[in-house]
Amino acid sequence: MKLIIKKGKSLPDKQIKKWNKTRIEDWGENKPLSIKNRKKYANDIFFILYNKDNEVLSSGRIRLIKIKFLGKSYEIFGSADLISEIKGKGYGKKVKRAQIKYGKQKKKTMIGFCSNKNVPFYKKCGLKVERRLAKRFVYPDPRAYKDTDPNCIYINGKDNLMKQILAHPKEKVKIPISRW
């Protein structure tokens, strides 16, 4: 197995097609990444685990995002779209742990959201989980996107953003985009 880390603009067409197919099957995603227009994901950092035959086993991505909390801007990694072609073999865990390692090396806070059923998986990967915290993250147009995953998964970076968020339970976190 080998793990490759690359920006979205560098992904091969074959990888994008496979990623789109799995997103549609797993999540019913209706807005696949366009092979011709990679703008939305161009600077996202993809983590892709391949087998010895160069077939994708698992992939995930993180996106650098500026969010606001208590009037201050923070640059974080937004974690998203962890997909494993075969479940229960530890492939997703390898990808997630690589993302965590990357985030720690860059000293960035990394935040994602997950459903209740996925909490044990993310804890095993080494992420901290705050249940029902996702509702405090607000989007520019709340009608455009409603995140149904109630839990926040994270690693704290050098900025200690998550400590700040947890210390101020009534304050909202402003996210400048509808979905990362």
pLDDT tier at 139, thresholds 50, 70, 90 = confident
pLDDT of residue 142: 66
Q: Which comes out higher in pLDDT, residue 49 or 13?
A: 49
First to last CA, the chain: 28
pLDDT tens sequence across 77-124? 999 889 888 889 999 999 999 999 999 999 999 999 999 999 999 999
How far from 66 is each of 78, 122, 175, CA to CA, in Å?
9, 23, 7
145 has pLDDT over 60: no
pLDDT of residue 98: 98
Task: Provide the 10 A C-beta neighbour count for residue 164.
Answer: 17
One-letter amino acid for residue 129 of the chain:
V
Classify domain 2-174 by CATH architecture: 3-Layer(aba) Sandwich (3.40)
What are the structure tokens assigned to 122, written together?
Answer: 């993310």
159 has pLDDT over 90: yes
CB 61 within 8 A of CB 11: no
Q: Which of 25-39, 96-110, 149-163 has the lowest mean pLDDT?
A: 25-39
Domain boundaries in the chain? 2-174
